[in-house]
Amino acid sequence: MKYLVYLALGILFGITLIKSEVASWFRIFEMFQFKNFHMYGVIGSAVVLGALVTFLVKKQNTFSGDKVTIIPKAKGFKNYLFGGIIFGLGWALGGACPGPMYALLGSGFVSIIVLLCGAVLGAFTFGLVKDKLPF
């Protein structure tokens, strides 16, 4: 029962990703060509409003009454830049980041299963070579 809220939030998020077209390969392509404000509007409004909400919510407690703690990102530079570039290459080529991938499984395109398998394989490979990479 306690997981129902996560299911509901996931469904809302999934519908939003598809209906706002941010899960469309075409919109990602257009974004990287700077031809349409749409993607920037979605991410930008989420960041601006999200910053306000995050700022305010830090002064509150969680639903269960604990102090709100948002774990800060670990210090680093190379991992964020190199990892980010690799991610960006895949994001543009496949037209989907992890959230939309799960939503696109519902599209009926069988290839999305291969895309997701690739992502799991990528995460697995990273785990194997992590200690040898620059951070």
Partner 1 sequence: MELIYKPWAWYVAGPIIVFVLFMLIKLGKNFGMSSNLNTMCTIAGAGKFSDNFKTDWKINIWSLVLIFGVFIGGLIAFNFLQVEAPQLHPDSVDSLKSMGFYSVNTSYLPQELYSLDTLLTLKGFVVVLLAGFLVGFGARYAGGCTSGHAISGLSNLQLPSLIAVIGFFIGGLLMVHFLMPLIF
17 in Cβ contact with 23 (< 8 Å): yes
Burial label for 103, CB within 10 Å (0-12, 13-18, 19+), is buried
Measured distance CA(27)–CA(104) in Å, rounded: 14
In the region spanning residues 71 to 130, those forming contacts with partner 1, defined by CB under 8 A, are 71-77, 79-99, 101-112, 114-128, 130
Nearest distance from C-beta of residue 67 to partner 1, angstroms: 10
Q: Which contiguous run of DSSP H or E holds residue 48?
A: helix 38-57
Nearest distance from C-beta of residue 100 to partner 1, angstroms: 8
In the region spanning residues 48 to 77, those forming contacts with partner 1, defined by CB under 8 A, are 49-51, 53-54, 57, 60, 62-64, 66, 68, 70-77
In the region spanning residues 13 to 32, those forming contacts with partner 1, defined by CB under 8 A, are 13-32
